[in-house]
Chain A
Amino acid sequence: MPEYQTHVHDVLVIGAGGAGLRAAIEASASGVSVGLVCKSLLGKAHTVMAEGGIAAALANVDDRDSWQVHFADTMRGGQYVNNWRMAELHAKEAPDRVRELEAWGALFDRTADGRILQRNFGGHRYPRLAHVGDRTGLEMIRTLQDHGIHMGIDVHMECTIVQLLKSGDRIAGAFGYERERGRFKLFRAKAVVLATGGVGRAYKITSNSWEYTGDGHTLAYDAGADLMDMEFVQFHPTGMVWPPSVRGILVTEGVRGEGGVLKNSLGRRFMFDDIPENYRPQTADNEEEGWRYTQGDKSARRPPELLTRDHVSRCIVREIKEGRGSPHGGVFLDISWIKARIPHAAEHIKKKLPSMYHQFKQLADIDITQEPMEVGPTTHYIMGGVRVDADTQMSTVSGLFAAGECAAGINGANRLGGNSLSDLLVFGKRAGEFAAKYAVGQKAADVDGSQADAAARRALEPFERGTSGEGPYQVQYALQDMMQDLVGIVRNEGEMKRALDCLRTLRARAARVGIGGHREYNPGWHSALDLHNLLTVSEAITLSAIERKESRGGHFREDYPDKDPAFATFNIVTRKSRDGSTEVSRAPIPPMPQELKKVVEEMK
Chain B
Amino acid sequence: MSSNVSLARELSVGATTEPIVAWRAWALTGHRDGTELLLRPVAGRSRPWRPMEPAEAACKHARLHGAPNVDCSCGLHGTHDVEILRRTRCPAVLGRVAFWGRVIEHELGYRAQFGYPQRLALVCQFCFWLWGPHGTRPAVVGWLQRDELIPFCWPHLEQAQRYGMEPRRLLPADEVDLRLRETYAVDMLAF
Do A and B originate from a single complex?
no
Which positions in A face B, CB cutoff 8 Å?
none
Which positions in B face A, CB cutoff 8 Å?
none
